[in-house]
């Protein structure tokens, strides 16, 4: 257990001031959009998580306040308030107002931390109109307040009865005798929005609750008329997260859990195969989600492939010496979590926001630990080991079948270097960054789109009817389905192990379907295909949904295209005494080419919804629930959300 007396002003080191932060905020938090806003909250939360990793904090409270401020409280040691030698200022003031000042630069206060190299608190302070910090240490309460990163006064000792925490109607807070409380007000002149998204905050908290087992999180959203609260605590840590990833899926075996510390690096891995074909892998370094992977993920993948192959050979499961399992085969139906903890000073992230781990020495270390752990699991659980081997062997057979099917098409020149599908009306532009492909529902709408488009940069590919549900479809079935094969050929980047996004022929791929239930179903099927089989297109930000109008409202010669029922109601309320006519568009085919261009295809007027995956775990769960084989979860979802459905009957 880390003690308060072990964490003092001697642990605080200072590198530079705060001046650059407000001038170039994106350099420090990645962006000034909604993601950058939540990066600020993450920094403050992770400072409290670091107190837990240091063996101190047991509880963290996260509160979204009505005035668009956020409060984070922990019951850790509390930031030191004594004077820093050479600065004649409180350690608290130094930490909150000096860039690169904190207890994470070799001062010995933190071996493991997730804060942004110690700049987190001061950066958030600089980007806030107001901020206050209360510290509870050694039976005393200290407070300092700031404006745009500058202290309003010196650190002052206060009475506990004057604590700002008492303004929150949360009984537990009155019992906190040690720790740090921070409230900040994001600057609306810096950020595009200062309104926190409760779903993004919950994901952030839930992730950390899984990774740091036995740490209580208490989340309060005070903004609704009836405030919401959620409490999270996971005894099982990352095993609980793997079970969550496999929710509503048929699993092949019990979770495999591996944990070992070597050279001050703690490696923790949990994995479990399901009977699906999609991979769901999450990786972390000191509670930071490394969304782009890194050397720890590479080491894990190499160990998994090697261990399964070695076990297959050992028990004589392969029919010949040339039989083997590839890395792609081990990904099919895999849910896994890789979490490592290491000294903050030794971490080499690629990029300021830590998307990828770059430490080369971590790869062989993780590989050795995971391979040893898997070998032990296989020896002790032979029946489950065989289930894993059989799962991967089936994936290998499917891969060979898919390659044969794809090669057959390649021989006909369909995928690469051959003729484009006959239904495709291609554009004249050859630069992918300028070119657009509209994937259109039905030949009728396709005809209107072909006539109404700007053929210089807009290509049209009509689809005939509903497409294959590809949630559980392997490549051989996909390339046999005519509409999907045409789409793959038109896109030009291949599919499966030959995918090359640099060969993608269009950097705007726009799904355009009718504004009705059938159209939404087709759009969902297409989104499933792209998410499961062409995920790189989604990750690159090249996938969009077109939003066609629902109505045309006419007042004499005056015409309005309307995209929602709310918009229609507002317009009609202002039409008292006017004669009007209203036309409901049931399908794209009802619009003539000029109307389709003006409403849905003209870049000056159209509305496009960009598809991205902010929460891969949630997206995976939704696709599994909506498009998978298990009926009860889908039935429950329909029952829960039936009242929200806008049915056009």
Neighbours of 487 (CB within 10 A): 25
Helix or strand (DSSP H, E) at 298:
helix 295-314
* Beta strand pairing call for 436-441 and 140-147: unpaired
Q: Dihedrals φ, ψ of 161, to 5°?
A: -70, -15
* Beta strand pairing call for 228-232 and 216-221: antiparallel
Q: Which of 76, 79, 78, 84 shows the shortest CA–CA distance to 9?
A: 84
Q: Which tokens in the block code for residue 349?
A: 């992230």
Q: Which of 539, 441, 542 shows the shortest CA–CA distance to 491?
A: 542
The Cα 293–Cα 304 span in angstroms is 16
Instruction: Find out whether 461 and 421 touch, Cβ atoms under 8 Å.
Output: yes
Distances in whole angstroms, Cα of residue 285 to Cα of each of 153, 200, 342, 348, 382: 37, 20, 8, 11, 32
Instruction: Find out whether 103 and 109 touch, Cβ atoms under 8 Å.
Output: yes
> CA torsion sign, 451 to 452 to 457 to 459?
negative
* Beta strand pairing call for 551-555 and 543-546: unpaired
* Beta strand pairing call for 265-273 and 288-289: unpaired
Distances in whole angstroms, Cα of residue 65 to Cα of each of 22, 62, 222, 386: 24, 10, 5, 53
Instruction: Find out whether 47 and 57 touch, Cβ atoms under 8 Å.
Output: no
Q: Please provide the DSSP assignment of 608-625 as one string.
A: EEE---S-HHHHHHHHHH
Bridge partners (DSSP) listed for residue 583: 552
Catalytic residues: 441, 514, 516, 518
The Cα 122–Cα 107 span in angstroms is 18
Q: Please provide the DSSP assignment of 357-425 as one string.
A: E--TTHHHHHHHHHHHHHHHHHHH-HHHHHHHHHHHHHHHHHHHHHHHHHHHHHHTT-SSSSPPPTT-B
Q: Which of 39, 3, 24 shows the shortest CA–CA distance to 353?
A: 39
Bridge partners (DSSP) listed for residue 136: 141, 179
Instruction: Find out whether 372 and 307 touch, Cβ atoms under 8 Å.
Output: no
Instruction: Find out whether 94 and 250 touch, Cβ atoms under 8 Å.
Output: no
């Amino acid at each position: 257990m880390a003690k308060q007396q072990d964490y003092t002003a001697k642990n605080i080191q200072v590198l530079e001031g705060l001046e650059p932060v407000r001038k170039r905020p994106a350099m420090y938090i990645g962006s000034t959009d909604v993601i950058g806003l939540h990066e600020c909250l993450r920094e403050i939360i992770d400072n409290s998580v670091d107190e837990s990793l240091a063996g101190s904090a047991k509880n963290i409270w996260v509160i979204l306040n009505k005035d668009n401020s956020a409060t984070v409280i922990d019951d850790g040691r509390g930031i030191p308030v004594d004077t820093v030698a050479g600065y004649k200022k409180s350690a608290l003031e130094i930490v909150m107002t000096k860039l690169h000042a904190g207890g994470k630069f070799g001062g010995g206060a933190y071996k493991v931390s997730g804060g942004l190299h110690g700049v987190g608190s001061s950066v958030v302070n600089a980007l806030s109109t107001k901020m206050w910090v209360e510290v509870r240490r050694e039976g005393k309460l200290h407070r300092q307040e700031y404006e745009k990163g500058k202290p309003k006064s010196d650190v002052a000792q206060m009475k506990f009865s004057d604590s700002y925490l008492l303004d929150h109607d949360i009984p537990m807070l009155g019992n906190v005798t040690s720790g740090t409380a921070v409230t900040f007000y994001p600057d609306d002149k810096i950020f595009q929005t200062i309104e926190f998204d409760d779903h993004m905050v919950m994901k952030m908290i839930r992730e950390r609750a899984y990774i740091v087992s036995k740490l209580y999180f208490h989340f309060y959203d005070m903004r609704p008329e009836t405030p919401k609260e959620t409490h999270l605590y996971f005894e099982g840590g990352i095993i609980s997260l793997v079970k969550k990833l496999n929710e509503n899926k048929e699993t092949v075996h019990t979770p495999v859990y591996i944990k070992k510390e070597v050279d001050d690096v703690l490696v923790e891995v949990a994995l479990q195969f399901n009977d699906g074909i999609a991979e769901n892998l999450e990786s972390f370094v000191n509670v930071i989600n490394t969304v782009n992977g890194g050397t720890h993920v590479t080491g894990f993948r190499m160990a998994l492939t090697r261990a399964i192959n070695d076990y297959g050979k050992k028990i004589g499961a392969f029919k010949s010496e040339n039989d083997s399992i590839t890395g792609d085969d081990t990904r099919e139906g895999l849910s896994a979590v890789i979490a490592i903890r290491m000294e903050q000073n030794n971490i080499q992230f690629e990029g300021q926001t830590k998307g990828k781990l770059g430490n080369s020495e971590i790869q062989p270390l993780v590989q050795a630990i995971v391979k040893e752990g898997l070998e032990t699991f296989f020896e002790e659980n032979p029946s489950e080991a065989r289930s894993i081997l059989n799962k991967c062997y089936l994936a290998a057979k499917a891969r060979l079948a898919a390659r044969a099917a794809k090669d057959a098409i390649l021989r006909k020149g369909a995928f690469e270097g051959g003729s484009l599908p006959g239904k495709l009306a291609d554009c004249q532009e050859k630069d992918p960054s300028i070119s657009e492909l509209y994937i259109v529902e039905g030949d009728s709408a396709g005809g209107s789109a072909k006539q109404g488009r700007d053929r210089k940069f807009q290509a049209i590919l009509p689809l005939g009817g509903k497409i294959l549900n590809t949630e559980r479809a392997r490549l051989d079935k996909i390339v046999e389905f005519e509409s999907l094969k045409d789409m793959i050929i038109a896109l030009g980047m291949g599919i499966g192990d030959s995918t090359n996004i640099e060969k993608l022929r269009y950097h705007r791929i726009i799904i355009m379907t009718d504004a009705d239930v059938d159209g939404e179903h087709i759009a969902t099927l297409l989104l499933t295909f792209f998410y499961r089989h062409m995920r790189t297109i989604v990750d690159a930000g090249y996938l969009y949904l077109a939003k066609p109008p629902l109505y045309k409202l006419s007042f004499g010669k005056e015409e309005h295209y309307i995209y929602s029922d709310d918009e229609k109601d507002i317009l009609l309320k202002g039409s008292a005494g006017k004669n009007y006519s209203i036309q409901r568009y049931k399908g794209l085919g009802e619009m003539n080419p000029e109307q389709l261009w003006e409403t849905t295809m003209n870049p000056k007027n159209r509305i496009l919804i960009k598809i991205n995956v902010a929460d891969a775990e949630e997206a995976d769960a939704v696709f599994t629930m909506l498009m998978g084989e298990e009926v009860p979860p889908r039935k429950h979802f329909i029952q829960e959300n039936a009242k929200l459905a806008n049915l056009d009957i």
